[in-house]
């Protein structure tokens, strides 16, 4: 039987590497041919040869924002759309960041319709909920909050909201099955340690700096799902997620930024000091970014498997020039 391939966008980024690694280790997933859309496949083949050379995997050189570079003459069964510059995104202007998400998603949805795709998984963001009230312990998928429309700094979240709405429109207009994965915070071997991710910065400090620096007051509450769990959840949602449904993707283990810094210190550099630079905010204004994950747990029997401690070790060990 001729099986149409899955189109994976963002296949060479943090999400993509995890997805390809999961496919390589899973007999069930390896049955799915995968085409990775990449702006620079040669770089990926050189730097990640074991992932790039796995059976049934091919690359197509193209850019989600350049319609003429996309594989319009191919045929796909599924699209897993994970292409967004979450690492380099903050260096873009808010307008460019919004346009990258909106234009890229529009192009890939058009490609999906043109190439006979049956199911489309969008990796969205928990940022679409906006500010989480301090009395809401975890955000459910039906929470109606949203980021302020007049704040340019919310361009990433606004772009993801628009991308989700596009999926709903294409589902209604073309009968395309769509599933939304609202992704929160993650850690894993491919996380850059020198970007804007607090947990990566703490690991970097634990390995290389004199002390572990917390730039804020340490009170925000976060959760971190390991990269391998992320990949398992996304593959499951692409194949089994209910049409038209949205799922939170993240951990339910809540930890403050200060507690996280101390945990990283205790695991990797017990002799180092944690310095909290920021001034504590007034009581009741504590920042939270915590998903409720009961929906995916109940509907698909999925839960976090890798502990935060092991995920921190995995991330540190992925930088052998720094990890002792």
Of 124, 182, 138, 131, the residue nearest 153 (C-alpha): 131
Q: Give the three-class secondary structure for 202.
A: helix
Tell me, what's the pLDDT at 278?
Answer: 83
Q: Where in the chain is the domain with CATH 3.40.50.720?
A: 6-185+224-249
Residues of the chain with pLDDT under 70: 1-2, 85-90, 282-286, 320-324
pTM of the prediction?
0.94
Task: State how far the alpha carbon of 314 is from the alpha carbons of 60, 189, 223, in Å.
Answer: 30, 6, 17
Tell me, what's the pLDDT at 1?
Answer: 41
d(CA 251, CA 225): 5
Which CATH architecture best describes the domain 6-185+224-249?
A: 3-Layer(aba) Sandwich (3.40)
Q: Which residues contact 168 (CB under 8 A, 6 or more apart)?
A: 178, 244
For residues 71 and 36, the answer to whether their CB atoms sit within 8 Å is no
Q: Where in the chain is the domain with CATH 3.90.25.10?
A: 187-222+253-289+306-317
Tell me, what's the pLDDT at 282?
Answer: 65
d(CA 155, CA 133): 20
Tell me, what's the pLDDT at 85?
Answer: 64
Fold of 187-222+253-289+306-317: UDP-galactose 4-epimerase; domain 1 (3.90.25)
Tell me, what's the pLDDT at 276?
Answer: 94
Q: Which residues contact 57 (CB under 8 A, 6 or more apart)?
A: 20, 23, 33, 34, 36
Tell me, what's the pLDDT at 91?
Answer: 75
Tell me, what's the pLDDT at 84?
Answer: 73
> CA-CA-CA-CA torsion for 172, 161, 11, 117, nearest 10 degrees?
0
């Amino acid at each position: 039987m001729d099986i149409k391939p899955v189109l994976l966008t963002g296949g060479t980024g943090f999400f993509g590497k995890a997805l390809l690694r999961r496919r390589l280790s899973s007999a069930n997933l390896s049955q799915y041919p995968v085409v990775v859309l990449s702006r620079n496949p040669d770089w990926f083949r050189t730097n990640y040869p074991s992932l790039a050379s796995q059976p049934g995997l091919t690359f197509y050189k193209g850019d989600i924002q350049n319609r003429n570079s996309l594989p319009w003459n191919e045929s796909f069964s599924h699209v897993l759309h994970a292409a967004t510059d979450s690492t380099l995104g903050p260096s873009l202007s808010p307008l460019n960041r919004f346009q990258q998400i909106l234009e890229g998603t529009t192009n890939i949805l058009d490609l999906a319709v043109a190439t006979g795709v049956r199911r489309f998984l969008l990796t969205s963001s928990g940022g679409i909920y906006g500010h989480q009230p301090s009395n809401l312990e975890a955000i459910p998928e039906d929470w109606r909050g949203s980021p302020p429309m007049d704040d340019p700094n919310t361009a990433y979240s606004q772009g993801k909201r628009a991308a989700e709405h596009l999926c709903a429109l294409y589902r209604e207009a073309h009968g395309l099955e769509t599933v939304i994965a609202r992704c929160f915070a993650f850690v894993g071997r491919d996380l850059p340690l020198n970007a804007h991710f607090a947990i990566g910065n703490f690991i970097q400090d634990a390995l290389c700096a004199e002390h572990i620096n917390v730039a804020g007051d340490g009170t925000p509450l976060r959760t971190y799902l390991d990269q391998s769990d992320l990949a398992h959840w996304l593959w499951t949602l692409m194949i089994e997620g209910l049409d038209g449904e949205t799922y939170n993707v993240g951990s339910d283990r809540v930890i403050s930024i200060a507690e996280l810094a101390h945990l990283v210190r205790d695991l990797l550099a017990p002799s180092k000091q944690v310095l909290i630079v920021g001034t504590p905010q007034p009581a009741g204004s504590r920042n939270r970014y915590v998903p409720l994950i009961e929906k995916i747990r109940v509907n698909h029997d999925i839960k976090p498997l890798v502990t935060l401690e092991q995920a921190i070790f995995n991330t540190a060990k992925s930088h052998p020039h720094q990890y002792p």
